[in-house]
Amino acid sequence: LPEQEAFDIEYWLLEEAKLQRMPKPKALAGRVAIVTGGAGGIGSATAERYLSEGACVVLADIDADALARTQDNLAGRYSKDVVRTVQMDVTSEDGVAQAYADMAVEFGGVDIVVSNAGIASSAPIEDTTLDLWNKNMSILSTGYFLVARAAFQMLKTQGIGGSMVFVASKNGLAASPNASAYCTAKASEIHLARCLALEGAPDGIRVNVVNPDAVLRGSKIWSGEWLEQRAGTYQTDKEGLEDMYRQRSLLKRSVLPEDIAEACYFFASDVSAKSTGNIINVDAGNVQSFTR
Ligand code: NAD
């Protein structure tokens, strides 16, 4: 090699080695995320995943005590400047609008919206009261609509695009026994996300869906009436249910909140810049999906 060329190559290799040693910029640095149901199992795991990638996160939840516990839990690892909480009921039009307004003041806007707040409550159809049906529709279907509408208003005003992630459910695609209210509400979330992917695309707003299969560990849903209802339907207890879900998965593994958080991270980050209106099922390969 001519002397100058050899020198250039050596110089380039040294510069490359220096770059390799430099800390990589975090994938969500400078972004602001709101996670509804942020005090729950999947919501808090998702918030933590985003924080670990440098995002500022607002945890929004109806449960003030659980919010305080979640913030205390994160306090040791993340500064109060990057993690905030807001008590918010996703079924309240004014409450949702106020949460976004506060976020605009505190963080200057929003880039990532995770619609995740939810309940699980169902019964055989003949025992499904109008109240039970409406409760599912109001928190899951209407709640996702209100959070999305406010998000679109803010994202379109900002004019720099954004990412919405809907945490729906495998039950929004597949029927589950004695759970028609929940399954129907979850199906509406998935369809809403796909409609909004269509509407948001011209403004660079991506909308995608993460469908968890049963996540028994860490989820508050699985300690109350839903647990009792599912245990009754399948004639087993919590351990038996977890084993049943594990056994029906191809990978024979339980799905954890952190697994859902990873899919929520994928859709929030630029790695998925060309995905919208898409669904990731996090179900360890649910056998039933392969046999219908
Ligand atoms: P979780 O109960 O641990 O968390 C849900 C959170 O939503 C709670 O902190 C709760 O206080 C909050 N919430 C409920 N109603 C609200 C309201 N009106 N306004 C604001 N916040 C409200 O449950 P999770 O397992 O973390 O569930 C999160 C999401 O994932 C839900 O939408 C759920 O339907 C969905 N999902 C869960 C599972 C599972 O097996 N855990 C499976 C599929 C889908």
Tell me: pLDDT of 220 over 90: yes
Q: With a cut of 60, say whether residue 232 has pLDDT above it.
A: yes
Pairing, β 205-212 against β 162-167: parallel
ipTM topping 0.90: yes
Pocket, ligand 1, Cβ cutoff 6 A: 36-37, 39-43, 61-63, 66, 88-91, 116-120, 139, 143, 167, 169, 212, 214-215, 219-222
Task: Output the CA 42–ligand 1 centroid distance in Å.
Answer: 7
Index of the ligand 1 atom closest to the CA of residue 255: 40
**pLDDT band with cut points at 50, 70 and 90 for residue 155:** very high
What is the mean pLDDT of the segment spanning 62-76? 95
How many C-beta neighbours within 10 Å does residue 31 have? 23
11 catalytic per annotation: no
pLDDT class of 113 with cuts at 50, 70, 90? very high
In whole angstroms, give the CA distance from residue 10 to residue 123.
Answer: 70
Look over the chain and give the mean of its residue pLDDT values, rounded to a whole number.
Answer: 95
Nearest protein Cα to ligand 1, atom 10: 37
Element (H, E) at 280: strand 279-282
Reduced to 3 states (helix: H, G, I; strand: E, B; else coil), residue 65 is: helix
Report the percentage of the chain scoring pLDDT > 70. Answer: 99
* CA–CA gap between residue 287 and residue 234 (Å, rounded): 17
Distance from Cα 24 to the centre of ligand 1, integer Å: 33
Q: Name the catalytic one among 50, 100, 144, 182.
A: 182
In a 13 Å sphere around the CA of 56, the CA atoms on its Cβ side amount to 16
What pLDDT does residue 291 have? 63
Identify which of 215, 230, 234 to mutate to test ligand 1's pocket (most ligand atoms within 8 A of the CB): 215
pLDDT of residue 29: 97
Mean pLDDT of 111-132: 97
Interacting residues of 53 by C-beta distance below 8 A, sequence separation 6+: 26, 27, 28, 29, 265, 269
Prediction pTM value = 0.93
* Token couple for 55: 């995002």
Task: Summarize the confidence of residues 187-204 as an average pLDDT.
Answer: 98
What's residue 292's pLDDT? Answer: 53
What is the predicted pLDDT for the residue at 24?
81
Beta bridge partners of 175: none
Q: What is the reported pLDDT for 219?
A: 95
Q: Is the pLDDT at 110 greater than 60, yes or no? A: yes
- Give, using CA atoms, the residue closest to atom 14 of ligand 1: 118
What pLDDT does 7 receive? 85
Look-up of token digits 């979850």: 186
* CA 116 to centroid of ligand 1, rounded, Å: 6
Residues 222-231: tens digit of each pLDDT: 988 999 999 9
CA–centroid distance, residue 161 to ligand 1 (Å) = 26
